[in-house]
Amino acid sequence: MPDSMTLDSTRLQRLQQIPLWDFALTLYAKPGVEAACLTLQEEAGLDVCELLFHCWLYSCGLETKPAALAHQREQRCFWQRHVTAVLRGLRRDLKASAAERESVAALRETIKQTELMAERENLQRWQTWVWEASAEEQRVTNISTTISTTISTTPPNAAKWLLKQLFSGKSGFKPDDSFTRQESLLRSIQTLTCQLDPYQGAR
């Protein structure tokens, strides 16, 4: 059995066969996932693109290395704030006017599609960050066998794993902090993790 800290090339190869955008569309279409993502975005301020990125890794039994993640997260958050969030704000601001004027409704639909393109671009950049990493600069590693076994059989632990990834490098986070005690947020995280299989990529 390989060392859990040694990157399993089979898992990485599997990941390279699954475009993140395609994975995100499939996951997002599953029952309850869209609502869960929106709840986590609106109530917890989480970045849905990063959320889907970690789910993508998880499905192949991989996770990010915290030190490598920090800089990439900063770049992706910059994109979300200055591109995606601006488009989302415009779309929301036009909602009332769109109900009264067809021309505004058409404009709002164009902005909605542009917002989706911005989300896709952000996911593609997450994907490229993993796929184009050099052998000397590995950015992901295996989820350890022990943790994988636990989280695949116990949804609350899977939720804590995902929370740990999302808050890695952020001060003051503990897996059992107040976030996990907020029922709607924990339920949203569990809705996502119950759809995922960390062994899929290693089979």
What does the pLDDT read at residue 78? 94
Mean pLDDT of 182-202: 74
Taking the C-alpha atoms of residue 157 and residue 87, their distance in angstroms, rounded to an integer, is 35
Select from 197, 202, 162 the least CA-distant residue to 50.
Answer: 162
Work out the pLDDT band at 159, boundaries 50, 70, 90.
confident
Work out the pLDDT band at 83, boundaries 50, 70, 90.
very high
The DSSP code for 175 is T
- Lowest mean per-residue pLDDT among 86-95, 138-147, 165-174, 181-190: 165-174
Select from 135, 178, 134 the least CA-distant residue to 44.
Answer: 178
- 74: amino acid identity, one letter: E
Bridge partners (DSSP) listed for residue 63: 141
Instruction: Please indicate whether residue 116 or residue 133 has the higher confidence score (pLDDT).
Output: 116
Work out the pLDDT band at 168, boundaries 50, 70, 90.
confident
- Lowest mean per-residue pLDDT among 24-28, 39-43, 152-156, 160-164: 152-156
Neighbours of 177 (CB within 10 A): 11
> The pTM is what?
0.83
| pLDDT (tens digit per residue) in 26-74 | 999 999 999 999 999 888 888 999 999 999 999 888 999 888 898 899 9
Mean pLDDT of 154-162: 73
Query: Is the Cβ–Cβ distance between 169 and 58 less than 8 Å?
Result: no
Taking the C-alpha atoms of residue 34 and residue 41, their distance in angstroms, rounded to an integer, is 11
Q: Is the pLDDT at 153 greater than 70, yes or no?
A: no
Taking the C-alpha atoms of residue 78 and residue 64, their distance in angstroms, rounded to an integer, is 19
Query: Is the Cβ–Cβ distance between 73 and 103 less than 8 Å?
Result: no
Q: For the chain, where are the E strands, in sequence order?
A: 62-64, 140-142
Distances (CA, A) of 85 to 2, 79, 195: 42, 9, 27
